[in-house]
A = this chain, B = another copy of it.
Amino acid sequence: MKSAQCDKRLAILQAALELIAEQGFHGAPMAMVADRAGVGAGTIYRYFENKDLLIAELYSALEQKLKVVLMEGYLPEKPIRERFIHLGRALLRYCIENPLHFRYIEQFHNSPYGVAFRRDKILGKQGECDVFRELFDDGVAQQVMKDLPLVILFALAFGPLLTVVRDHILNFITLDEPLIARTVEACWDGIRR
């Protein structure tokens, strides 16, 4: 059957997600991933060439899913401020509801894997991922955002959001819907002219 194969593949991805998100890359040896997925150690290599590719593939899947969620209900014709607030809130909500996804993506970014990835994203082909780039370019052009380099605006917007999510997941604070709204609006104050 096809579904049986898919089951195992998904089980492996899920096990890797949980272990790596919770314990980091070191805390997730292949044997442990196999164990949690309920498969033999060698089975993983039937679905993924090696550990690096498993990690990269999982990252791509999560990134893809996040992108989809962010675009849900995004209206490009609304004013820039509203578009930003929408994206910020959606991002916070998604990360809070999927802490494992968030933690995994963070682990990935803070690893040797992630650096090359981000370098390509920011400097290389700017063809995609550009809901954000477009929004910020618009914002600067229309003079509703500060006239700062794109990278700085990104930092002002997402630096606080990701920090806040980290703190929420580590139980340093509890984010509810009103607090989310106020936080995103504070971020807007940082970038708006």
Q: Residues on A close to B: CB < 8 A?
A: 23-24, 26-27, 106-107, 110-112, 115, 118-119, 122-123, 146, 148-149, 151-152, 154-156, 158-164, 167, 170, 172-173, 179, 182-183, 186-187, 189-192
Contacts and interface: CB of A to CB of B under 8 A. Distances in A.
B190 A112 contact: no
A24 B86 CA distance: 36
Contacts of A182: 146, 148, 152
Contact of A159 (B151, B163, B172, B189): B163
A187 B190 contact: yes
State the main secondary structure of chain A at its contact with B: helix
Nearest to A24: B112
A155 B163 contact: yes
Contacts of A156: 160, 183, 186-187, 190
Contacts of A172: 118-119, 122-123, 151
A128 B167 CA distance: 20
Given A111-B24, A115-B170, A186-B191, A158 B148 contact: no
11 contacts: A115-B170, A118-B170, A118-B172, A122-B167, A148-B182, A151-B167, A155-B183, A156-B187, A159-B159, A160-B160, A187-B190
Q: Which of A111, A152, A159, A187 has the most CB of B within 10 A?
A: A159
